[in-house]
């Protein structure tokens, strides 16, 4: 499919002291959350401040997701709401960004002519320039465009605002796009081919985050462990990047999501085992528990090769937290294939899983295959959730009595009077603490287990 893409860097952010407010609405993955933070930083660079709701904001940006149909429906319905707001307040600027904007720009414009600009995934940094242009010109019904290059493939690494806000935990994209082309997935189309950020740029960003008070960074990439190919400085294996980042003063914990099973190398297992800053957690998507399903999904591994990685990880790091993604109702999924997925859940004893019903994405090979009956897919999803829930409860129960190192994040919004934080194996703990402990690493003994995690006492 031909991409219609835009040239980055044509409308640089200008620093202004403009009065007004912005609201960024986000759907989708952590990569989108991170892009939204970049959008917000860019808008703050114009002098805009955050609004409490889109109804009152002067600038509203939708950062959309196309990975399933549901977030796309939500974005269109949000645009319907904004259409009414804009009728009452025509000076409001509305922009649409993200994967759906990349994929369905013309449709978004046609259905919502009031939208001021639509930009794809590689052009987050151009948004402040477009907003500035709209605010200056006050020609709100005019379609703002970046110069287009028809048929181009996204190869540029998006620019980033380095001046991040001070916070305890931060996401850091290290890789954009994907080369794997799983038959169900729209990401290679919406985010383009795999590109790694230069190692020095990542180090620079993480050093700055540490100076601003970050203790934990989560490295983001669609297949994060294939980081480092074809960089100008030569190949930099993902394990080497982890070791370099572990040397940044102030960074106490490093996580990453999501590794791709076929690209899981022995040096990564050793790095998780040997480098204290690298957390003992791995979110490794399995997607399905039958080789025929994996083949039809064009996942480039088998259940047995996945099992070998799990075995080497658990031998090297017995306290590892292992989580995964699973899809049910993939086209042609038989009862036996689904049963194999349930068996895999029992076999691998995941600590948790994101479980989804397959959602056909127009433009992907799997969308053209005969689909599973929606009721059958719903029933399978419920069975899968039940199976994984039982495993998670058992795994959490087995943690009672153990002591975990927890990064104290602050008061728990759900459990008043208690504080919360994550263990190194990525279990949420709630426990009594002093406000002064926030930001510190504290040993907490688990005293009770729940589906969401553990309750505990400072040890
Ligand atoms: S590895 Fe597959 S599922 Fe993951 S982003 Fe790439 S194409 Fe999509």
Q: What is the Cα–Cα distance from 311 to 249, expressed in whole angstroms?
A: 33
Distance from Cα 182 to the centre of ligand 1, integer Å: 5
Helices (H) and strands (E) in the chain, counts: 13, 20
The alpha carbon torsion through 424, 430, 435, 438 (nearest 10 deg) reads: 20
Q: Same CATH topology for 162-279 and 283-398? A: yes
For the chain, give the mean pLDDT.
90
DSSP 294: H
- 168-197: pLDDT as tens digits: 999 999 999 999 999 999 999 888 899 999
Which residues are near ligand 1 (CB < 6 Å)?
178, 180-182, 185, 187-188, 222-223, 260
Among 210, 203, 275, residue whose Cα is nearest residue 243: 275
pLDDT score, position 234:
87
pLDDT score, position 138:
59
Among 149, 267, 247, residue whose Cα is nearest residue 202: 247
The mean pLDDT of 213-230, rounded to a whole number, is 95
- 364-395: pLDDT as tens digits: 999 999 999 999 999 999 999 999 999 999 99
- 283-398: CATH topology: Transcription Regulator spoIIAA (3.30.750)
Distance from Cα 446 to the centre of ligand 1, integer Å: 36
pLDDT band at 233 (very low <50, low <70, confident <90, very high): confident
**Considering all CA atoms of the chain, what is the largest pairwise distance in Å, rounded to the nearest integer?**
64
CA angle at residue 325 from 324 to 330, to 5 degrees? Answer: 145
Sequence-distant (6+) residues with CB within 8 A of 362 are none
403-458 carries CATH number 2.40.50: yes
pLDDT band at 214 (very low <50, low <70, confident <90, very high): very high
- Tokens found for residue 189: 């189309």
Sequence ranges of the domains in the chain: 4-149, 162-279, 283-398, 403-458
- 4-149: CATH topology: Rossmann fold (3.40.50)
Q: What strand order describes the sheet that includes 321-328? A: 281-283, 321-328, 352-357
- 347-361: pLDDT as tens digits: 999 999 999 999 999
Distance from Cα 246 to the centre of ligand 1, integer Å: 27
What is the percentage of the chain residues whose pLDDT exceeds 70?
90
pLDDT band at 12 (very low <50, low <70, confident <90, very high): very low
- 162-279: CATH topology: Transcription Regulator spoIIAA (3.30.750)
- Tokens found for residue 242: 């982890």
pLDDT band at 4 (very low <50, low <70, confident <90, very high): very low
User: Which residue's CA is minimally distant from atom 8 of ligand 1?
Assistant: 185
How long a stretch of residues is the chain? 459
- 266-322: pLDDT as tens digits: 999 999 999 999 999 999 999 999 999 999 999 999 999 999 999 999 999 999 999
Beta bridge partners of 421: 408, 429
């Amino acid at each position: 499919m031909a991409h219609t893409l835009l040239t980055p860097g044509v409308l640089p952010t200008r620093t202004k002291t403009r009065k007004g407010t912005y609201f960024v609405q986000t759907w989708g993955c952590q990569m989108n959350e991170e892009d939204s933070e970049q959008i917000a930083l860019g808008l703050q660079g114009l002098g805009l401040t955050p609004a409490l709701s889109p109804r009152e904001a002067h600038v509203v940006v939708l950062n959309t997701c196309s990975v399933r149909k549901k977030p796309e429906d939500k974005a269109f319905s949000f645009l319907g709401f904004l259409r009414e707001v804009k009728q009452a307040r025509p000076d409001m600027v509305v922009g649409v960004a993200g994967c759906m904007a990349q994929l369905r720009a013309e449709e978004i414009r046609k259905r919502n002519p009031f939208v001021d600009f639509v930009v794809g995934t590689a052009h987050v940094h151009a948004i402040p320039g477009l907003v500035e242009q709209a605010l200056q010109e006050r020609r709100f019904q005019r379609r703002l465009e970046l110069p287009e290059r028809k048929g181009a493939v996204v190869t540029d690494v998006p620019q980033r605002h380095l001046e991040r806000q001070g916070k305890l935990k931060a996401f850091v994209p290290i890789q954009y796009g994907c080369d794997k082309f799983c038959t169900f997935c729209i990401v290679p189309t919406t985010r383009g081919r795999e590109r790694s950020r230069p190692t020095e740029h990542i180090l620079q960003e993480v050093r700055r985050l540490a100076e601003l008070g970050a203790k934990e960074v989560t490295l983001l990439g669609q297949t994060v462990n294939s980081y480092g190919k074809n960089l100008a400085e030569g190949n930099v294996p993902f394990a080497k990047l982890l070791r370099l980042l572990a040397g940044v003063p102030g960074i106490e914990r490093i996580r990453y999501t999501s590794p791709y099973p076929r690209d899981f190398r022995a040096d990564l297992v050793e790095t998780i085992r040997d480098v204290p800053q690298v957390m003992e957690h791995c979110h490794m998507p399995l997607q399905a528990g039958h080789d025929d399903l994996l083949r039809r999904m064009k996942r480039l591994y088998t259940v047995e090769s996945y099992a070998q990685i799990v075995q080497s990880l658990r031998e090297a790091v017995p306290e590892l937290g292992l989580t995964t993604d699973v899809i049910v109702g993939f086209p042609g999924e038989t009862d036996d294939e689904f049963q194999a997925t349930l068996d895999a859940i029992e076999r691998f004893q995941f600590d948790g899983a994101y479980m989804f019903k397959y959602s056909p994405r127009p433009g992907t090979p799997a969308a053209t295959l005969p689909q599973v009956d929606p009721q059958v897919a719903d029933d399978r999803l419920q069975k899968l959730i039940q199976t994984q829930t039982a495993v998670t409860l058992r795994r959490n129960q087995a943690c009672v009595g153990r002591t975990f190192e927890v990064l104290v994040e602050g008061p728990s919004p759900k459990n008043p009077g208690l504080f919360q934080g994550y263990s190194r194996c990525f279990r949420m703990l709630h426990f009594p603490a002093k406000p002064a402990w926030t930001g510190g690493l504290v040993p907490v003994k688990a005293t009770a287990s729940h589906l969401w995690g553990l309750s505990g006492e400072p040890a």
